Amino acid sequence: MLEIAIKGSKKYWIWLAILAVIMTAGVIAYIDQFLNGLMTTGMSRDVSWGFYIANFTYLVGVAAGGVMVVIPFYLHDYEKFHRITILGEFLAVAALVMCLLLIIVDLGQPIRALNVMLYPSLKSILFYDMLVLQGYLFLNIIIGWKVLEAERNQVKPPAWTYPLIYLSIPFAIGIHTVTAYLYCGLPGRGFWLTAILAPRFLASAFAAGPAVLILLCYVVKKFTKFDPGWEAMQTLSKIVCYALIANVFFFFCEIFVVYYSNIPGHISHIDYLFFGLHGHNAMVPWMWTSLSLMFIGITLLIVPWLRNNKFLLPFTCIMIIAGTWIDKSLGMIAGGFVPSPLHHVTEYAPTLKEGMITLGIYALGLIILTVLYKLATTVKEEVRG
Amino acid sequence: MMKKSRRSFLKVAAVSAIGIGAAPAISLSSSSTNSHGSSHAAKSPNKGAKTAKRWGMVIDTSKLTEEVVEHIVEACHKAHNVPDFNHEVDEGKYPKTRPVNHKQEVKWIWEEHFHNAFPDKEDEFLADKFKHLPFLVTCNHCINAPCVKACPTQATFKREDGIVLMDFHRCIGCRFCMAACPFGARSFNFRDPRPFIAETNPDFPTRSKGVVEKCNLCAERLAKGEQPYCVEVSKGAIVVGDLEDPESEPRKLLDKNYAIRRKQALGTEPSVYYIM
Ligand code: SF4
Ligand code: SF4
Ligand code: SF4
C-alpha cells in the first residue's frame, strides 16, 4: 500500500518539501538545545515545564478526540462516519508521534529516556502515561492500516481487529485521563489539584479533536477526489458543540469552587491568569481571548443556521481550536506554575528556539498526517471509482 | 537484602506482565541493587558513621542573622559544587560561554522571607521581627515525598533513614519531581554548571547539564561521622540528628520550643522544623 505515498502530484510534493524545510529548522534548533541544554528555552527554576509540555497536553487531547468518530461508528453503527473513521485514527497516529517527540525534546537527558522502562517506578504517573500513549499509538497504527487494507481489497477487516478497535476506546479515554493525573495528583499545585481536571481535559479534547477533524475534512475535500460527506461533518460539529459546552461548564464549576471557598492557594493562580498578580499580567489578554473564542464558538455551533453554513464552519473550528489551545496549553502551564510554591511570580514566555523546535515537530506531524491521509483518500477513491 | 530483592522481583513480575518484555526487566533487577547501594551502606555503616532512624533538621530562627545565613548558603554551595551564576566565567577555560538567565539558577539552601517560606501562614499582624528575619529554606526530606513518588526512573529515592537522595546518572531530566515538590526545593541544570563553579571540590561530584539536584542532607558527611556543612557554620542555628531518638539534639530542642514545619496541611511530613 505504501507505494501510493510516493505517487503524488506536484502540489503534494511541494507541500511536503515546505514541511521538510520547517522540520529541518526545528532539527537545527534542537541540535543547539541538545548541545547546550535547556538554557535555550524560556523555562526557569519556577516554571520548570513550558511550551513542549503545553503542546504535548493539547495534542494528547487531539489524539484522544479521534475516539469521537470511533464510538459512533463501531458502537452505534452510525454509517455516516464510515468514511471518516480512518481519518480520525490516522489523526491520532500523527498527534501521538508529536506527543512522544515533545516529551523527548523536553528531557534534560534525552539519551537516558529509556530509563523510564529500564527502572520503572510503579508509583510514577509518567510511567503509566508512557504505557498508554504507546499502546494507543500502536493500536491506531494497526487498526488504521488493517481496516484500510481490507477496504482496498474489498473484504471485511480481519476479525481480530475488532477487539483491538473496542480496546482503543478505553485507551483513548485513558491517555487523556492519565495525562490529567500527571498534573492533578501533585499536592502543592493549587491550580491543578482538582478532581475536575481529567473531565475538563476530556471535554476540551472532544471539542478540539473533532474540530481539527472537520478542518481536515475540508482540506481533504478540496485537495483530493474523496468527499468525507457533509452530513458526517455536521454530526461532528454537534459533537464539538456539546463537548465545548461541557468544557466551559466544567471551567465554571472550577471557578465557583475556587472563588466561593476563597482559599488563597487556589485563587492566586486563577487571579494570575485572568487578572494578573502583583503587577504581572502577561497571561491576561490570552485567557480572556480564549474564553471569548470558546463562547463565540459555542454560539456559532448551537444556532442551526450558523452551524449549517458551509462557509462559516471552518472559521468556527479555527476559533475553537485556538480557544482550547490557549486554555489547555498556555493556561495549564502558566496557571500551574505561577505563582510558585513560595509565592513568587516568575512569568514564562517561550524563546524563539523553543518555538522552532515545537514547530518542527508539528511539521513532522503534518508530514505523517499528509502521507497517511494520502493513503486513505487514494484507497477510498480507488474503491469507489 | 532479602526484602529488596523480593521487591524487585515483584516489580519485574509486574512489568513483564504489562508486557515490556524480559530484557529490560532483567537489567532492572541487577542494576537497581547496584545504584541504590547507598541504602545498604546505611544499614551496615562505616565505622564512625552517623546513623539514624529518621534524619531531621531543626532551625532556630532566632539565631539566624544575615551574616550567619550568608555563611551557611556559601558553605553548602561551595562544598557541593553548586554553580553560582554571578561567578565570572574563566574565558580561557570556557570560551564562548553564553550569558546566564538568573531565573535558571541552582540552589540547595537559600534565604526567603517568612511569607514565602510559609505562604499559608501569611499574616497582616505578624510581628515585625519575623517579617524581616532571613528564613532559610531547603529540601525537607519529606516522609511522604511527592518528588520520590513522581520520579519515573527512581533517580530520586528515599533512603531508609529518611534522606531523600538523587542519582545524577539515572535522572532523565523530565522535571516531574520539580512540579511535584511543594517547597520549590529542587533545581534543574539548564546548562553545564561547571563554568560557574569557582573552585571545584574534588570530593563531591559535579553535575552535568540536564539533571535535577537538591540538598542531600550531607549524606556524604554523615557517612563519615561528620556534621553537615550548614550545621558547622551555623553558630548553633541549625542542628541535624535523629528525630526518632528522644535523646537527640533536635528532639531536645523540639521538647523545649514551639516549632513549625512548612505546609504541614499537605501531608508530606517535612523533616525540617523551624523554632519560632
Ligand atoms: S522538600 Fe521537595 S524535594 Fe525535598 S523531599 Fe520534600 S518534596 Fe522532595
Ligand atoms: S528530573 Fe530526574 S529526578 Fe526528577 S523526576 Fe525526572 S528523572 Fe526523576
Ligand atoms: S544539609 Fe548539607 S546539603 Fe543540605 S543544606 Fe545543609 S549543607 Fe547543604
Partner B contacted by A180 (CB < 8 A):
no
* Res B195 pLDDT > 70: yes
Give residue B273's pLDDT: 97
**Does B266 map to a domain?**
no
Residue type at A342 in one-letter notation: L
What integer is the mean pLDDT of B200-217?
96
Residue type at A272 in one-letter notation: Y
Q: How many residues does chain A have?
A: 385
Is A143 buried (19+), middle (13-18) or exposed (0-12) by CB count in 10 A? buried
Give residue A169's pLDDT: 94
B217 lines ligand 1 (CB under 6 A): no
Atom of ligand 1 nearest to the CA of B180: 7
Q: How far apart are CA B42 and CA B49, in angstroms?
A: 9
> What is the set of domains in chain A, with CATH numbers?
2-379 (1.20.1630.10)
What integer is the mean pLDDT of B21-33?
37
Q: How far apart are CA B125 and CA B82, in angstroms?
A: 37
Q: How far apart are CA B67 and CA B65, in angstroms?
A: 5
Band of residue B15 on the pLDDT scale cut at 50, 70, 90: very low
Ligand number nearest CA of B271 is 1
**Does B233 map to a domain?**
no
Give residue A32's pLDDT: 97
* Res B31 pLDDT > 50: no
**Does B154 map to a domain?**
yes
**Does B240 map to a domain?**
no
Pairing of strands B187-188, B212-213: antiparallel
Give residue B48's pLDDT: 81
* Res B151 pLDDT > 70: yes
* Res B47 pLDDT > 80: no
Give residue B45's pLDDT: 56
- Quick check: A196 and A254 in contact, CB under 8 A? yes
Answer yes or no: do B192 and A46 touch at CB < 8 A. no
Query: Ligand 1: distance of its center to the CA of A210 in Å?
Result: 41
**Alpha-carbon separation of residue A242 from A110, A200, A211, A289, B18 (angstroms):** 40, 13, 12, 20, 36
Measure CA A307 to chain center.
23
Which residues lie closer than 8 Å to B256 by C-beta, 6 or more apart?
A: none
* Res B184 pLDDT > 50: yes
Walk along chain A (385 residues) and give the pLDDT tens digit of each residue: 778 888 888 999 999 999 999 999 999 999 999 999 999 999 999 999 999 999 999 999 999 998 999 999 989 989 899 889 999 999 999 999 999 999 999 999 999 999 999 999 999 999 999 999 999 999 999 999 999 999 899 999 999 999 999 999 999 999 999 999 999 999 999 999 999 999 999 999 999 999 999 999 999 999 988 899 999 999 999 999 999 999 999 999 999 999 999 999 999 999 999 999 999 999 999 999 999 999 999 999 999 999 999 999 999 999 999 999 999 999 999 999 999 999 999 999 999 999 999 999 999 999 999 999 999 999 988 887 6
B155 lines ligand 2 (CB under 6 A): yes
What integer is the mean pLDDT of B34-46?
46
Strands, E assignment, B179-237: 187-188, 212-213
Band of residue B143 on the pLDDT scale cut at 50, 70, 90: very high
**Alpha-carbon separation of residue B29 from A107, A157, A204, B148, B165 (angstroms):** 25, 42, 41, 19, 20
**Does B235 map to a domain?**
no
**Does B237 map to a domain?**
no
Neighbours of A54 (CB within 10 A): 23
Q: Is the bond leading into A110 cis (omega within 30 degrees of zero)? A: no
What integer is the mean pLDDT of B210-216?
97
Pairing of strands B164-166, B156-158: antiparallel
Band of residue B29 on the pLDDT scale cut at 50, 70, 90: very low
- Angle of helix A264-275 relative to helix A284-302, nearest 10 degrees, comes to 80
Give residue B35's pLDDT: 41
Band of residue B130 on the pLDDT scale cut at 50, 70, 90: confident
State pTM to two decimals: 0.90
- Quick check: A206 and A239 in contact, CB under 8 A? yes
Answer yes or no: do A45 and B179 touch at CB < 8 A. no
Atom of ligand 3 nearest to the CA of B221: 2
Pairing of strands B272-275, B55-60: parallel
**Does B84 map to a domain?**
yes
Which residues lie closer than 8 Å to A307 by C-beta, 6 or more apart?
A: A234, A237, A238, A241, A300, A301, A313, A316
Ligand number nearest CA of A182 is 2
Strands, E assignment, B128-186: 135-138, 156-158, 164-166
Residues A354-385 as b or e (16 or more Cβ within 10 Å = b): bbbbbbbbbbbbbbbbbbbbbbbbbbbeeeee
How many C-alpha atoms does A28 have within 13 Å on its Cβ side?
8
Smallest CA–CA distance from B209 into chain A, residue: A37
Query: Ligand 2: distance of its center to the CA of A270 in Å?
Result: 28
Question: How far off is chain A from B247, nearest CA to CA, in Å?
Answer: 33
Answer yes or no: do B211 and A108 touch at CB < 8 A. yes
**Does B264 map to a domain?**
no
Question: How far off is chain B from A120, nearest CA to CA, in Å?
Answer: 6
* B20, B146, B172: residue with CB nearest A107: B172
Give residue B201's pLDDT: 96
Residues spanned by the domain of B172:
2-39+46-52+64-216
* ipTM entry: 0.92
Number of domains in chain B: 1
Residue type at A257 in one-letter notation: V
